[in-house]
Structure 1
Amino acid sequence: MLRIEALGKTYRTGDRALDGISLTVAPGEVVGLIGPSGAGKSTLIRCINRLVEPSAGEILLGGEAITAVATRHLPAVRRRIGMIFQEYALVERLTVMENVLSGRLGYVPFWRSFLRRFPQRDIDAAFALLDRVGLAAHVDKRADALSGGQRQRVGIARALAQEPELLLVDEPTASLDPKTSQQIMQLICEICAERALPAIVNIHDVALAQRFVSRIVGLHGGRVVYDGTPDGLSTTVLERIYGVADWSALAQPDGERCDAAPAALLATGAGL
């Protein structure tokens, strides 16, 4: 479980990016983080994995205050947090399997990683993960030969290879077409439910968040201005999150959310 208590971040310029953020994310819960540019979404994610140092407050993962961990111990903390990136962050010249196994680099001696000689347990686990994300037939392909949807699936498998206690997902669908975006969101939600894995998804697409996550947190000016169900995102709430805007044309998508979206959505996902 992730617990954030009164988290604040003020930069040297005096700009306050986060102002008293308090959240709890339960095992298996996927939280959609929405808000305008500059609201503090990326800063919040970076504070959680200590890429940015908070100015105040506390972050606890599995009961351990990771904000109190010394810098020299940060690699061990970051092993516990899987990251999925908007631009995939794959090594293009490496194969799908090699990219997934890179999620184990923090667990193996340098000589093993340098020679790409990973333990058989890690290799077997990587095969299982690639099968789960629909890429079993693409194990030996180079990353630069994959489509955007396939690359994001590799990124998901790589993050899971870390055996993380938390997933942080930064705009996973921003570079994808609508159909593939739905498949990727569905996949993330299903995997989190299967593994009781808490996740925070930074996402700009409000309609997509409404369709697939059960809880949405809206940030504005570094503060939480909404924390509730997708159904609670009324026009008034959206204007509070994003400022003055015409949200009347925002269509509520049909269909069920994360736990009940049609399985057929994923049926052809490996080829996207």
Structure 2
Amino acid sequence: MLTLSGVCKRYPTGDRALSDIELSLPRGQITALIGPSGAGKSTLIRCINRLVEPTSGSIRLDDTELTRLSGRELRRARRAMAMIFQEYALVDRLSVMENVLSGRLGHVGFWRSFLRRYPAKDVTEAFRLLERVGLSHALDKRADALSGGQRQRVGIARALVQSPQLLLIDEPTASLDPKTSRQIMRLIRELCAERRLAAIINIHDVALARQFADRVVGLRAGRIVFDGKPDELSAEILTTIYGEEDWDTQADHERDAPSKSKTQSHPALMSPISALAALSTGSTR
């Protein structure tokens, strides 16, 4: 479904963010991008939807060569690629429902959205999605009155109301506590399975990548250094991706954490807002 071939990104300063990326993603697969800060994970996601312009290489979504598109053609192609942002990119003064419906901007146009004149079928779908993500009780709440987990659920519903084929997800759990992080990742996985959506998730939490992804791609210094199944992430491979660390001790800690939690509880680049606007208008500058 999605194929990247020889994708490179070099900035005017001469810094190379991505080098010769080769990646194919089939429909319905959840791929986690892991790697140290500065490895190129966010850049890779943004090159796919052209929020960042790749310097060279090919990016194909089905039969469409994305790197050759501009203007209206690019806006049309972006309808098939929905992005979920780390910092949510919600409009705080708008209600939950209004934020979700903003995901239809690429379909209904700016003025219909501005005047809140959405087709009835879009409103019905927004209601259905908010119920699915557990926010049917908060339709009229302002976005700035929500918790971090709730805001991320609004972002997920907004992405899905776009009716995409591909989800591009940038650090969905970075600002969330461990329990909420698992809930959000579980929700993403369930929704992808229900809709047979492919997803690429930039994520720092290796444990979550292991638990919820079908495939893990490790980046280091802009290059893919690992591409395989989550259960293949050995200490040696983690060292290749991140550098030297006592990964066996870390793995023991991750295994112990769930049982400890259970015992305690029982019994007892571009800003997200700018990026969202760019996705709606087709401008990346």
Distance in 2 separating the partners of 1:33 and 1:173? 13
Superposition pairs of residues 117-196 of structure 1, within 5 angstroms: 117-196=117-196
Report deviation, 1:247: 1.4
The answer to whether residue 228 in structure 2 is matched with residue 215 in structure 1 is no
Matched letter for residue 63 of structure 1 = D
Report deviation, 1:73: 3.0
Which residue in 2 is equivalent to 1:85? 85
Which residue in 1 is equivalent to 2:205? 205
Provide, for residues 54-85 of structure 1, a one-character-per-residue CA deviation record: whole Å limited to 9, x for no partner: 11211111221111112453222222210101
Matched letter for residue 243 of structure 2 = G
SS at 1:251's partner residue?
Answer: helix
Residue 28 of structure 1 contacts residue 192 of structure 1 at CA under 8 Å; is this kept in 2?
yes
Distance in 2 separating the partners of 1:187 and 1:82? 16
Which residue in 2 is equivalent to 1:115? 115
Unpaired runs of at least 5, structure 1? 255-272
The answer to whether residue 254 in structure 2 is matched with residue 249 in structure 1 is no
Distance in 2 separating the partners of 1:149 and 1:106? 26
Q: TM-score, normalized by length of structure 1?
A: 0.90
Residue 217 of structure 1 contacts residue 227 of structure 1 at CA under 8 Å; is this kept in 2?
yes
The answer to whether residue 46 in structure 2 is matched with residue 46 in structure 1 is yes
Q: TM-score, normalized by length of structure 2?
A: 0.86
Unpaired runs of at least 5, structure 2? 256-285
Which residue in 2 is equivalent to 1:64? 64
Provide, for residues 213-246 of structure 1, a one-character-per-residue CA deviation record: whole Å limited to 9, x for no partner: 1210000111111001111111110010011222
Distance in 1 separating the partners of 2:27 and 2:195? 8
Matched letter for residue 96 of structure 1 = V
| Further displaced range: 47-56 or 153-162 | 47-56
Superposition pairs of residues 228-247 of structure 1, within 5 angstroms: 228-247=228-247
Matched letter for residue 118 of structure 1 = Y
Distance in 2 separating the partners of 1:71 and 1:14? 28
SS at 1:248's partner residue?
Answer: helix
Which residue in 2 is equivalent to 1:18? 18
SS at 1:6's partner residue?
Answer: strand
Which residue in 2 is equivalent to 1:258? none
Provide, for residues 239-268 of structure 1, a one-character-per-residue CA deviation record: whole Å limited to 9, x for no partner: 1001122212222656xxxxxxxxxxxxxx
SS at 2:14's partner residue?
Answer: coil
Identity over the aligned pairs, expressed in percent? 65
Q: Flag as ranges the 4+ runs of structure 1 deviating above 6 A.
A: none
* Aligned-pair Cα RMSD in Å: 1.4
In the comparison of the two structures, how many residue pairs are matched?
A: 255
Greater share of helix residues, 1 or 2? 2
Report deviation, 1:176: 0.4
Distance in 2 separating the partners of 1:178 and 1:122? 33
SS at 2:249's partner residue?
Answer: coil
Distance in 2 separating the partners of 1:109 and 1:248? 52
Report deviation, 1:136: 1.0
